[in-house]
Amino acid sequence: MAPHRIGILTGGGDAPGLNAVIRAVVKYAVGKLHWSVIGIEDSFNGLLEAPHRIRDMSPSNCQGLLQRGGTVLGTTNRGDPFAYPDGKGGIEDRSEGLAKAIREQGLEGLIVIGGDGTQAIGLRLMDTHGIPVVGVPKTIDNDLSATDLTFGFTSAVEVATDALDRLNTTAESHDRVMLLEVMGRDAGWIALWAGVAGGADCIAIPEIPYDPDRFTAKIKERRMKGRHFTLIVVAEGARPMEGEKWPSEVQHGKGRIQTEGAASTLARLLTERMDVETRTTVLGHLQRGGSPVAFDRVLATQFGVRAVELILAGRWGEMVCLKGHEVDSVPIRDAVAAYRTVSPDHSLIATARAVGIEFGA
Ligand code: F6P
């Protein structure tokens, strides 16, 4: 049987551990099985734009990738071949041309490393153009229902926890309320985990719209006990209950832009209600950059090897995942069907409440 020749790409926002997946795929598929692995740059765009941006991957050009953040293949969240910018302000379907380019390159199929959006594109390529695809899930938000964990999440939580530890000491020195805004537009996993790990007093997540009065009550309660500082973790998608303004937006060109982030909104609502000195830190992309923690390096390596095993077994159309402590796989179709947010009755919410963390509702 001729050795396999496959493409590999990374799509959507980056996450620590992407390079570790690439390295694992290349070390196994090229180094051990003697396949050809072709890296496609900037998601599907590397084969959509002329000249094509692709490269032969070998174990030697993957040296040092295990601990390196970002993705050496580049990525974009503006590369949907089914809705590609036409250069005139509109969009066009370029998927046919992409499928042709994949075939011309002699690629038997693709390993697609990305979040739900990228996996959905892969699935559509398979359904409409017969391009075989194997998926590897990625998101620091940990919001894919098909896998118990995605690599990058633990690294992001580590960064956010470290930030909380640092804010804790300065908050205490100055008797301030410190608000830390972390990523999580629709899912509050990073805020919840970091909040518990960093000993936050309050956590605001998108899944639990908050009543600012409950946070002010918590701050006052702490003061009564002689604790004159408070640590609050706010997910970027957290919002107050109805009736409160959020977010402040202004018209900008064809769209609207947010002028006040989730943490600043809450800081404003607190200062409107009580005499309090607040400081806000927005952690932003610091959570996505830098080296993956050990756990994410291991998970990414397991995911990369399992992706190759799926191809070996002819199990195209599946996405690797973690179930409990075991690496497994599920049909991509099932994986993209459901999104995993924090259920208000999740056991970690109950744990957090048990140790006195206030969620604002
Ligand atoms: O989905 C991952 C994520 O990090 C979200 O938590 C965040 O809202 C978004 O990406 C930020 O994306 P960008 O890099 O486009 O600013």
pLDDT digits (tens, 9 = 90+) for 266-319: 999 999 999 999 999 999 999 999 999 999 999 999 999 999 999 999 999 999
Helix, strand, or coil here: 258? strand
In a domain, residue 339? The reply is: no
Q: What are 130-160's pLDDT values in tens digits?
A: 999 999 999 999 999 999 999 999 999 999 9
**Residue of 80, 116, 141, 296 with catalytic role:** 141
Q: Could you tell me if the CB of 76 is within 6 A of ligand 1?
A: no
In a domain, residue 194? The reply is: yes
139 CA to middle of ligand 1, Å? 9
Mean pLDDT of the chain: 94
Question: Does the N-terminal peptide bond of residue 247 adopt cis geometry, omega within 30 degrees of 0?
Answer: yes
Same domain for 123 and 41: yes
Nearest-CA residue for atom 10 of ligand 1: 13
Directed axis angle between helix 95-104 and helix 116-129, to 10°?
Answer: 80
Same domain for 197 and 143: no
Within its chain, how far is the Cα of 240 from the centroid?
A: 24
Q: Which amino acid is present at 357?
A: I
315 CA to middle of ligand 1, Å? 31
Query: Residue 259: pLDDT band by 50, 70, 90 thresholds?
Result: confident
Q: How many domains does the chain have?
A: 2
13 CA to middle of ligand 1, Å? 6
Q: Could you tell me if the CB of 262 is within 6 A of ligand 1?
A: no
Atom of ligand 1 nearest to the CA of 288: 4
Ligand 1 pocket test target in 140, 233, 286 with most atoms within 8 Å of CB: 140
Q: Which amino acid is present at 254?
A: K
DSSP code of residue 31: I
144 CA to middle of ligand 1, Å? 14
In a domain, residue 118? The reply is: yes
pLDDT at site 213: 97
pLDDT at site 54: 98
Dmax (CA) of the chain: 75
Q: Could you tell me if the CB of 14 is within 6 A of ligand 1?
A: no
pLDDT at site 347: 98
User: Residue 74 CB: number of other CB atoms within 10 A?
Assistant: 17
Contact 282, 75 (CB under 8 A): no
Helix, strand, or coil here: 204? strand
Same domain for 37 and 163: no
Same domain for 176 and 28: no
pLDDT at site 324: 95
DSSP code of residue 51: S
Parallel, antiparallel, or unpaired for β 278-282 and 177-182? parallel
In a domain, residue 359? The reply is: no
49 or 183, greater pLDDT: 183
The residue range of the domain holding 117 is: 5-151+292-324
* Angle (nearest 5°) at CA 320 between 187 and 322: 60
The rounded distance, in Å, linking the Cα atoms of 271 and 262 is: 14
Return the structure tokens found at 159: 């960064």
183 CA to middle of ligand 1, Å? 7
Same domain for 123 and 43: yes
Contact 10, 114 (CB under 8 A): yes
251 to each of 55, 146, 254, 255, 341, how far by Cα in Å?
Answer: 42, 37, 8, 6, 29
Q: Could you tell me if the CB of 179 is within 6 A of ligand 1?
A: no
Q: What are 222-252's pLDDT values in tens digits?
A: 999 999 999 999 999 999 997 665 556 656 6
pLDDT at site 242: 75
Least confident of 25-29, 229-233, 252-256, 323-327: 252-256
Short-list 5, 19, 23, 113, CA closest to 68:
19
Nearest-CA residue for atom 14 of ligand 1: 13
Mean pLDDT, residues 149-172? 97
In a domain, residue 113? The reply is: yes
In a domain, residue 329? The reply is: no
Q: What are 29-80's pLDDT values in tens digits?
A: 999 999 999 999 999 999 998 899 999 999 999 999 999 999 999 999 888 9
Helix, strand, or coil here: 116? helix
Catalytic residue check, 56: no
